[in-house]
Amino acid sequence: MNIYRSLNHMIAYIEENLENEISYEKLAKLLGVNEYTMQKLFSLLCGIPLGEYIRKRRLSNAGADLFRGKKLIDVALKYHYENPTSFSRAFEKFHGIKPSQIKEQPDNLKFYARLTFSENISAEEPIEYGIEKRRPLVLYGKFIPTTETTISHDAPAFFQQMIAEYDALYGDFNYGMTVYEGRFVTDHLQYWVLYDHPVPGFTRYELPESTWLIFRSPSYQAKDIQAATAQFYSSFLPSSCPYTLRDLPDLEHYHDKVTDILIPIEDPS
């Protein structure tokens, strides 16, 4: 399967239905995965949550409609806003001007372009991985809020801060964890650093029994972990449809000078 050809089909369907209800079930079928995995792939490969992309495309077109003289209430309903007030708030946040200011400040309108993807994909080196079912896991940690665009900087900085503060007291950390907030609606995340044993003042976090895809990074270094994670989401997952992602956090397990990257999946059995 050419994932980028399928993404182009998804984008075409979205464009054809910006004024209609957009079926996530239909979008998932275009990728050959379930709805959860489809949204995860879209967010990672496109760099924006699916719902946010649709919202920006609609508001982009709404600016042109209002400039051409269409009524506010008609445009609000056309792009699936409940009322003119909620539409006006969203419009001002996106364009930086109120709908009533369009005629006076047309140069301030913003255009969010339709996504397109090259369908030429070069072959990559094989990726080694394992599949393992693990019992429920109880961890103890602290976190910082971050986003998909800033986590590559925020996570290593927070990890080093936690080491400086707690390593001498309680030893090496066992896990890192990425928790998604409002997944596919916003790009807000939590990045956690955790022990596998109770620590005073740390928050208890329990993960249920799950099956995990496991990839190994040869070190604890952030650049190596980020490279392995990026390879999974950009190369392995798009070409491995038999594996369906589960709505649980992604884990990093630090042990024996290596990092195991654990991605939760639905039990394939």
pLDDT digits (tens, 9 = 90+) for 114-136: 998 877 655 455 567 888 999 99
Report if residue 190 sits inside a domain. yes
Q: What is the pLDDT of residues 48-58, one digit of tens each?
A: 889 999 999 99
Say whether both 140 and 214 belong to one domain. Answer: yes
Same domain, 59 and 155: no
Q: Are residues 146 and 84 in the same domain?
A: no
pLDDT along the chain (269 residues), means of 10: 83 96 93 83 82 93 91 95 94 92 84 83 62 93 90 93 96 93 69 96 96 88 82 68 80 93 82
Structural domain span for residue 182 = 130-265
Claim to verify: residue 140 and residue 212 sit in the same structural domain: yes
Phi, psi of 98, deg, nearest 5 = -80, 155
Q: How many CA atoms lie within 13 A of 168 on its CB side?
A: 3
Token representation of residue 169? 């007291």
Tell me the CATH number at 235: 3.20.80.10
Nearest to 130 by CA among 231, 266, 261, 269: 261
For Cα atoms 202, 204, 210, give the angle at the middle one, nearest 5 degrees: 140
- Tell me if the pTM is above 0.85: no
Nearest residue to 155 via CA among 164, 146, 165? 146
Query: Does residue 98 fall inside a structural domain?
Result: yes
Do 134 and 95 have their domain in common?
no
Does residue 113 sit within a domain? no
